[in-house]
């Protein structure tokens, strides 16, 4: 007999099952790519670049057992922005985060709660760190971020302000000082 991999919500680090009382009923996975399109001089449409969109997964589920405890487990993961992995029958989708958690209750099914998890792939931005040629930056000391792992800090502005700027920035005290009025 063929073994079927069950659909499961897993801890992203350990791949241990989470939310034991969740019974996934329907899972929809959406993987998409946005192809850029532009019109050239002769009127034809061309494309030369693609942007891969984050994976989106929707899981319709039923909660059974101790409903308050079961729902609180899922709700806590939602509030804490916990990164999870989703195992479908075909593939493991790591680094997913719960984007929304709609749920409903019915008098017809008093011992269960039905809900839907909307998850989206979590991709953290990684800053580019390295050395740029000095001609590519405004200030030469900002060309190397590798040593400090950050941008060079701007020095404090030591330029002398005009009298008008001092009056504007300083308010009434600056006006009195400017016109020599002591009091």
pLDDT tens-digit series, residues 104-149: 887 787 788 888 999 999 998 877 776 667 677 677 666 566 655 5
pTM over 0.85: no
Predicted confidence at residue 110, as pLDDT, reads 75
Rg from Cα positions in the chain: 29
CA dist 149 and 71 (Å) reads: 42
Give SS3 for 170. Answer: helix
State the architecture of 8-38+48-121 in CATH terms. Answer: Beta Barrel (2.40)
Predicted confidence at residue 64, as pLDDT, reads 81
Burial class (CB in 10 A: 0-12, 13-18, 19+), 98: buried
CA dist 9 and 20 (Å) reads: 9
CA dist 39 and 148 (Å) reads: 44
Predicted confidence at residue 177, as pLDDT, reads 66
Predicted confidence at residue 152, as pLDDT, reads 46
φ and ψ at residue 76, rounded to 5 degrees: -65, -40
**Higher per-residue pLDDT: 16 or 181:** 16
**Higher per-residue pLDDT: 137 or 42:** 42
What residue spans define the domains of the chain? 8-38+48-121
CA dist 17 and 11 (Å) reads: 6
φ and ψ at residue 86, rounded to 5 degrees: -115, 125
DSSP string for 20-70: TTEEEEEEEEE--EEEP-EE-TTS-EE---EEEPPPEEEEEEEE-SSHHHH
Query: Which pLDDT tens digit goes with each residue over 51-109?
Result: 999 999 999 998 888 888 888 999 999 999 999 999 998 899 999 999 999 988 877 87
């Amino acid at each position: 007999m063929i073994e079927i991999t069950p659909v499961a919500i897993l801890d992203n680090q350990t791949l241990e099952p989470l939310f034991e009382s969740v019974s996934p009923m329907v899972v929809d996975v959406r993987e998409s790519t946005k192809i850029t399109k532009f019109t050239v001089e002769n009127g034809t449409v061309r494309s030369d670049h693609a942007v891969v969109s984050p994976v989106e997964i929707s899981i319709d589920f039923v909660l059974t057992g101790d409903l308050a405890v079961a729902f609180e487990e899922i709700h806590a993961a939602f509030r804490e922005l916990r990164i999870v992995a989703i195992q479908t029958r075909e593939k493991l989708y790591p680094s997913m985060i719960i984007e929304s958690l709609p749920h409903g209750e019915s008098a017809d099914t008093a011992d269960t709660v039905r809900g839907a998890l909307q998850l989206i792939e979590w991709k953290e931005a990684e800053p580019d760190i390295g050395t740029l040629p000095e001609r590519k930056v405004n200030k030469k000391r900002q060309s190397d971020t590798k040593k400090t792992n950050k941008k060079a800090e701007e020095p404090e502005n030591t330029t002398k302000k005009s009298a008008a700027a001092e009056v504007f920035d300083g308010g009434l005290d600056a006006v009195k000082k400017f016109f020599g009025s002591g009091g």
